[in-house]
A and B are shown apart, each in its own frame.
Chain A
Amino acid sequence: MSDSEIRFLEHVCLGPGLVANIFIAPHKDGLCLILVDATSEAGRIQAMQQKGNELVLCMERLRKVELKLRDCLAQKEDHSGRRSHDDVKSND
């Protein structure tokens, strides 16, 4: 990235509930900053992203529960298999 380029910082939170898109451009001996209000845009994205991420987190938790359940079932089957084997042995 060269110093003559315009830099763009998207969705910079400037304070509670205040978000801006910031353009930084070289100007004479310094820099020119342009701040464009992006509060409502960021709010919309946040709401959508929040729901999406919560859904992914829920799915991750569900997958963990499913794995635990499968483990429990496998253990139970193993246990009941051993018991019936022992029953057959004692009947003999």
Chain B
Amino acid sequence: MIKKKICMVGAFAVGKTSLVQRFVKSIFSEKYLTTVGVKIDKKTLDVGTQTVDLMLWDLQGEDEFQSLQVSYLRGSSGFFLVADGTREWTLDKAVSLSEKVEEVAGKLPFMLLINKADLPESWEIDENRLSELTNSGWSVVKTSAKTGEGVEEAFTSLASKTLEDMK
């Protein structure tokens, strides 16, 4: 069985834990509960002809009090950068975190998830900015942990990228 470690990285309250919960347990809660340290979940996924055990490391978000602990990143096969579409600064944070992760773990497959796609009326992130990131080679996906939009596709796609990376 192939095992792949995937880290969830981003600012606080962007929905990292909710995305994992949606993907692993198909559940969603409106209640915000900040993560301390790291929570590890597992989900087995079929990618093409291969079966992969995804080990999902849900890292605490960066906030006023805590910054990303790089020791959690060791051995990662890929990572998700998560931003909140209704809070523009969380995209800046995601971009700066991508640099930090690359410094520590090297070049790894990653995807940028713009979460909370179910709240278009509060949307703050400019489409042009996302286009620029896409044009520079980033994979950008809009997700909603609440409705499930884009979630399964994002995890499957990153799992597939980590497998391609092995070849």
Contacts and interface: CB of A to CB of B under 8 A. Distances in A.
Interface of A: 1, 7-13, 19, 42, 45-46, 48-50, 52-54, 56-57, 60, 64
A13 B65 contact: no
Contacts of B43: none
Interface residues of B, number: 21
Contact of B40 (A8, A12, A45, A54): A12
Contact of B39 (A7, A13, A45, A49): A13
Contacts of A54: 32
Nearest to A54: B32
B100 interface: no
B13 A13 contact: no
Nearest to A20: B37
Contact of B64 (A10, A46, A52, A60): A52
B12 interface: yes
A52 B65 CA distance: 9
B2 interface: no
19 contacts: A7-B71, A8-B71, A9-B37, A10-B69, A11-B37, A12-B37, A13-B38, A13-B39, A13-B40, A19-B36, A46-B34, A48-B65, A49-B65, A49-B66, A52-B63, A52-B64, A53-B32, A57-B32, A64-B122
